[in-house]
Amino acid sequence: MFRKKSMTFKDKLDLLHRLEGEISSSRLMLRELKRTVAKMTPIIHYVSSGQGGESSSLKKMSAKITDMTEEVNRKTDEYFELKQELIEIITRLPEPVQRMVLMTRGINGKTWSQTAETIHYSIAHSKRLMEAAIAEAEKLNKT
């Protein structure tokens, strides 16, 4: 886990989004690797059947799949733990509109346009509300 207690609320939000991207791209790579192994397995078994063993390249790919799966699972656990921590801080904010803007934009990753529409304010005002909400959340993050 690369998170520290001294991280700001904003840093934690940024980390949440970075983890989400890393998990997504790792899952895509993992899916492609599994497809490759699935295509190679019958060929390798046919070629190596006379030699009495599984190909070393297949073993390496299988090990890579296992390692990547463990890494995705670790990052997913960290993602959900961090998300829960952020939501707990957000729910303690006194202003409902601050909670809404942080949940919509910060946690759920909606666009500014979608966020503004959800909270019934302009995009510019939504951005100002987000800044104020982060400032308030920073205070709660320290307690």
Shared domain for 51 and 114, answered yes or no, is no
Shared domain for 122 and 54, answered yes or no, is no
Which tokens belong to 3? 């998170």
- State which residues form the domain around 37: 1-84
pLDDT at 52 over 50: no
Shared domain for 78 and 96, answered yes or no, is no
75-131 pLDDT per residue, tens: 999 999 999 999 999 999 999 999 999 999 999 999 999 999 999 999 999 999 999
Q: What is the mean pLDDT of residues 31-46?
A: 74
Shared domain for 3 and 58, answered yes or no, is yes
Shared domain for 25 and 77, answered yes or no, is yes
Provide the domain count of the chain.
Answer: 2
Q: Are 12 and 82 in contact (CB under 8 A)?
A: yes
CATH number at residue 111: 1.10.10
Shared domain for 69 and 97, answered yes or no, is no
Chain centre distance of CA 51: 44
